[in-house]
Amino acid sequence: MPAATSTPVTFSVSITDPNYTAGSANVQRLNAAGGIVSVLGLLHDDGLQGDAVAGDKVYTLRATLLEALPGTLKFQVSAGFKGEVKRVMAGPLALVVGSTAATPTIGTAQIAPGATPAGVGVIATVTALIDNGATVPTTVVLQKLDGNGAVLATLGNLHDDGNDGDAGAGDKTFSLRTTVLENQVGTINYRIAAQFPNDAATVYSALLPIAITGTATGVAITSPANGAYLNTPVITLTGSVGDDAAQVKINGIAAPHSDKSFAAAVPLNEGPNTITAVAANSNGSTSTGAATLTVTGVVNDIVVGTVNSQQATVTVNGVVAEVLNRSFMARDVPLTVGANAIQAVATDRAGNRATTTVNLTRAAPNLAGLSVLSGNNQSAPVGANLAAPLVVSLVDSRGAPQVNKPVVFRVIGLDGTVSPNQAAGPGLGAVAVNTDAQGQARSYFRLGSRAGAGAGNNLVEASAAGIATTVDFVATASPGGPRLVVVDSGNNQFGVVGQALPLPFIAIVTDASNNRLRGIPVAFSVTGGGGGFGTPRSPTLQGVSDSDGGVAATLVMGPDAGVNNNVVEVSFGDNPGYSAAFAATGMVPGPANLTRISGVVLDNSNQPIPGVTMRLLQITQGNASNIAQEMATPVRTNLQGQFLMQPVPVGIFKLMADGGTAARSGSWPTLDYDMITISGHDNTVGMPVYLPELNPANRVCVNETTGGTVTIPEAPGFALTIAPGSATFPGGSRSGCVSVTPVNMDKVPMSPGFGQQPRFIVTIEPVGTHFNPPARMTIPNVDGLAPRAVTEMYSYDHDLASFVAIGSATVSQDGSTIMSDIGAGVIKAGWHCGGNPSTTGSAGTCPDRAASVAHRLQGAVLQWRQCGEP
């Protein structure tokens, strides 16, 4: 050990004699003559403080020593044994204290190759000789620098273990393989940074330059800005390209360019649109860039997330209403005796407006009847008791109190409960309370689990026998504190190393009742892969949840290729549960002409389906299901159900499996899958393409004058009700047949959002069918939600490449089914489910058994459902 330096020293001794007296072994310091100077400490075999394994008979002591001058220190081990009068000694042990340690250095370092063309990914090997005698570095990392010498990113750890490009273990030469992929011509500088024990200063190597040669590459969208909100179906999009000889396409549409600038008119869908710019460079490489634009049409169209005051304003007969969580309430709207027209006007952030009107009649005042005395318009957190009771007055035609008459208080909105006294526990959905001597009856109300404005949120109706009118109480439930963060969308993407992913990672923060929370500080952290956020590629990113409870981050991928090797976790302060975890697969792009798509088409019994036509379509088809634009030559599956499509373009597309051409007996659907293609790679959907066989009995035929309801005998409780004239089939026909097929969760290629693990999912066919008004859907309550609880229905929208909320739904009084609320339901055919985030498992980091199972099944393809079994 060096002089004048605090140095950790470990003593260990094997004691296997069964007569050893437990706890007696210690380390003693000796003087030059061998005499005992002091006891350094006790040795232990408990797996703590440096002891490797508890109970292995190897006793350990770890101590920090500091000696001012060089020399030799002597120690011995002493222990007691049963039957022995004296302690038994082992030693002496000599420890040489050398002169003050020299500053460690990094020897010869190099990176190869020293040059690479722009836009072409290469695997570079970095090596460094680090030989400082017994002083071994604790960490050795590769850093990428900007033009001013500041660190842009830490790309990985160099190692001396003989693996992954390291020539020999323990030879003092540390190595790392990393991918270099740059778009701009010039010189990129790297350096090696090492940390050594007992040395606070970081030691650096000389600069390691790589020359980026040839013609600049790259493509970027400059306008509209990423995340912009628009209210137009077509946008003129502009951007820049590094190679003026490149061919640029925007979502498959050719974009002419000059002076390294391009423009193109691009059609958009309602909701979020992912726009991908692809440049086929003159050197054979391919560059990509992406932006997300949100189009808002009329207010009642599809939205991602929920609706709050940030998304829409509502007035009722000119009175401004409160808006929260898809509900609104306008207070003190004046009514006249007789007929009244009530008009609600909603306006979204892009200026689109929708209006609805209802008519009601206000009866002339009558002395006999019920009236609200107190308790209306209260508020409290979800699941809490209101501070004051709900009190009504019951009088006869003369205005005299009616005594000892029953009044029924019934919850008619949400899953709150009522009780006749404040300490009655959870309460019931309805309760009868007799009036007192003043003709008053009161009930205590515990709010339901859904936050929102009063109307349509927490409602209690009071009624009495013989009284024609009823009275209503409204109450507002505010959300609780943050308790859960879940993955919403963007997980399991494929991306180019060193470039931003096509889609952001989006997580949702909720309270204990699954209400989305606004304004919660959230942190994204890169825990694997070496990627980062923004231009500096920071390993962390701070964000605040929006009105949908959502927080988004776009990951710039790390430098290395690998399956799900880029890992990001997101959490909030004092999270009582797990973080939410995202993973992405890094890929090094190759020549564009080698890009292909392959896969296999199976039924739900994993049997191949030959003859299925696979089509690659432009992702933006428009809201009216326009004729699809094919982006590659269609192919059919062979006898084993396999297909290969090549060449294919680079970008984000729809992969359509057309079951109408299947060569097997039976009826097969046509389904869409989202496909991100990486240049020069064999791209897949990540699992087999499953086509469930359609049951001809599970369908209904409708037209402009005839509607119908689809039920599924094998799924009691399911119903899809289609109003006459509401269905528009592909091609614009108003007449056709709609079929519904249950799908096993493990056969759905797109994971539901909002942290769900639904047990019931259906596919509604034919794809491309639209319903206006929405088709009301009822599903069995297999997830066990509470009676009268309100949740959300979700649909996978292939135009938006994500699951979207299609409206609220309410659990029946007996808890057996969940029905979409009036005005909500199926808008487009496709995959549908409903429910809340999973209450079992976690979206966080899985335990070590995941790695051990993956090791035993090396080479197999596994899908993990959060922290469940593979």
Amino acid at 816: S
Residue 744, CA distances (Å) to 414, 696, 741 in order: 30, 19, 10
Distance between CA 307 and CA 300 in Å, rounded?
10
Distance between CA 654 and CA 618 in Å, rounded?
6
Residue 676: burial class (beta carbons within 10 Å; 0-12, 13-18, 19+): buried
Report the CATH superfamily, name and number, of domain 109-213: Immunoglobulins (2.60.40.10)
CATH of 219-295 among 3.40.640.10, 2.60.40.10, 3.30.70.100, 2.40.50.140: 2.60.40.10
Among candidates 220, 350, 232, which has minimal Cα distance to 275?
A: 220
Sheet holding 670-677, edge to edge: 635-636, 613-618, 651-658, 670-677
Q: Are strands 199-204 and 186-196 parallel, antiparallel or unpaired?
A: antiparallel
Which residues lie across from 15 on neighbouring strands?
Answer: none
Residue 126, CA distances (Å) to 1, 161, 176, 185, 285 in order: 31, 14, 5, 21, 24
CA-based Rg of the chain, rounded to a whole angstrom? 34
Determine the Cα angle at 673 with ends 671 and 674, to 5°: 155
Residue 829: burial class (beta carbons within 10 Å; 0-12, 13-18, 19+): buried
Q: Which fold has domain 366-478?
A: Immunoglobulin-like (2.60.40)
Q: Where are the domains of the chain?
A: 7-97, 109-213, 219-295, 312-360, 366-478, 484-587, 592-690, 699-834
Residue that has been written with the tokens 């539901």 in this structure: 752
Q: Is the pTM of this model over 0.75?
A: no
Q: Tell me yes or no: is domain 592-690 CATH 2.60.40.10.
A: yes
Here the contacts of 539-544 (C-beta below 8 Å, separation 24 or greater) are: 539/154, 544/519, 544/520
Quick count: other Cβ atoms within 10 Å of Cβ 204? 14
For residue 200 the two structure tokens come to: 């606070």
Classify 745 as helix, strand or coil. Answer: helix
Residues of 372-383 as b/e, b for ≥16 C-beta within 10 angstroms?
ebebbebbbbbb
Peptide bond before 256: cis, by omega within 30 degrees of 0? no
Distance between CA 487 and CA 507 in Å, rounded?
5
pLDDT (0 to 100) of residue 795 = 87
pLDDT tens digit string along 440-495? 999 999 999 888 754 447 899 999 998 888 999 999 898 999 999 999 888 888 88
CATH of 484-587 among 2.60.40.10, 3.20.20.60, 3.40.50.2300, 1.10.3720.10: 2.60.40.10
For residue 645 the two structure tokens come to: 């499509």
Distance between CA 738 and CA 736 in Å, rounded?
7
Quick count: other Cβ atoms within 10 Å of Cβ 223? 12
Residue 722, CA distances (Å) to 726, 740, 769 in order: 7, 12, 12
Query: Does the fold of domain 592-690 match that of domain 366-478?
Result: yes
Which residues lie across from 344 on neighbouring strands?
Answer: 316, 356
Q: Tell me yes or no: is domain 699-834 CATH 2.60.220.
A: yes
Distance between CA 405 and CA 683 in Å, rounded?
73
Q: Are 511 and 449 in contact (CB under 8 A)?
A: no
Among candidates 807, 831, 770, 800, which has minimal Cα distance to 293?
A: 800
Distance between CA 109 and CA 136 in Å, rounded?
17
Q: What are phi and psi of 465, to 5 degrees?
A: -60, 135
Which residues lie across from 540 on neighbouring strands?
Answer: 525
For residue 748 the two structure tokens come to: 């759905």
- As a dihedral over the C-alpha atoms of residue 12, residue 16, residue 17, residue 23, rounded to 10 degrees, the angle is 50
- Split the chain (870 residues) into runs of 10 and give each run's mean pLDDT: 84 92 92 90 88 91 89 92 89 84 86 92 91 87 88 85 87 91 92 86 93 91 82 84 90 85 83 80 82 59 60 87 78 88 85 84 77 93 93 91 95 90 76 96 93 70 90 91 91 87 90 92 94 87 90 89 92 90 89 90 93 87 56 96 93 89 92 84 90 89 96 93 94 92 77 82 88 94 88 78 81 92 88 80 43 36 41
Q: Tell me yes or no: is domain 7-97 CATH 3.40.47.10.
A: no
Query: What is the residue-wise DSSP string for 641-684?
Result: SEEEE-S--SEEEEEEEEGGG-SSSS---EEEEEEEE-TTSEE-
Distance between CA 800 and CA 490 in Å, rounded?
12
Q: Are 372 and 440 in contact (CB under 8 A)?
A: no
Query: What is the residue-wise DSSP string for 223-288?
Result: ESPTT-EE--SEEEEEEEES-TT-EEEETTEE--EETTEEEEEEE--SEEEEEEEEEE-TTS-EEE
Q: Residue 568: CB partners within 8 Å, gap ≥ 6?
A: 505, 524, 525, 526, 527, 531, 553, 555, 581, 582, 583, 584
